Amino acid sequence: MLAGNTAFVPPAVDYLVVAGGGGGGSNYGGGGGAGGLRSTVTATGGGGSLESALVFSLNTNYTVTVGAGGAAEVAGNNSVFSSVTSTAGGRGGGANGGSPAASTGGSGGGLNGFGQLANIKSGTANQGFAGGWSGGNPAVDTRGGGGGGGAGAVGGNGATSSTGANGGNGVATSITGLSVTKGGGGGGGGGSGSSAANFGTGGTGGGGNGSNGNLSGTAFGGVGLDNTGGGGGGGGYYGNTGGAGGSGVVILRYLTSVGTITIGAGLTGSTATDGSHKVTTITAGTGNVSWA
């Protein structure tokens, strides 16, 4: 107890931990899933309940890792703050021979447009949503890819058109003092048989757009934005490569009165002041942080 019988309140830190987004699939490709998003402020991923702030000790190291985004048809990488791990975004499915199928993740990757009706790839509870399917069937190869799942919404389905489906939207939080949106899923690539733009758009929060299906061999899916965990866009039919996913981010918010943070070797980050709080944004690397 402190003087005056005031209970001691241990220092605590709010956090936003976003994993790297998955890469989009190639050739009728599905959009990449967004990196998992865990937050103690405003809202968290997957429609879950807010996380609890972490109590920390001074002069103690806490691990931080910012997950990189995945290349085309590759899942992203996990992000970590102390005991909190956000799961990498799932890859979008590709339709080339030898291309991998979509995968689960923080948010699930979208299925390719070449006849994948079922086997939707789920997100992780309290982190993100499932990817979408194509709406095609094994006898029809004109369909666009499914949208990658977002931290805030499921990826769109391709229904029965050649247009790629839109990626799921991300989640807005105010951890920096302003509203910022992270974790958008990648848009699906367009199918064949259309002379118009037929790509799916990326979800809000950094998801990359898919590429047109009528641009054979000349276009790439859009990349997810770095430090959002956005999924990469799917490539359109024949020769169009999926886009890479965006890297994640770790943002920490704590009272200015609890101490000064040290960002250790191996990490890239900066600290700003928002009223009675400091906000540390770590954009790359692996290392330790501590307060003194």
| DSSP labels, 18-68 | EPPPPPPPSSSPPPPPPPPEEESSS--GGG-PPPPPEE--TT--EEEE-PP
pLDDT in tens for each of the 292 residues of the chain? 333 344 445 689 999 999 999 999 998 899 999 999 999 999 999 999 999 999 999 999 999 999 999 999 999 999 999 999 999 999 999 987 778 999 999 999 999 887 655 688 999 999 999 999 876 555 455 678 999 999 999 999 876 678 899 999 999 999 999 999 999 999 999 887 666 788 999 999 999 999 987 765 556 899 999 999 999 999 988 778 999 999 999 999 999 998 899 999 999 999 999 999 999 999 999 999 999 9
CA distance 153 to 107: 9
Q: Which two tokens stand for residue 68?
A: 């990189």
Cβ partners under 8 Å of residue 34, min gap 6 = 21, 22, 89, 106, 107, 128, 148, 149, 150, 151, 167, 168, 170, 182, 183, 184, 185, 186, 203, 205, 206, 207, 224, 229, 230, 231
CA distance 238 to 217: 6
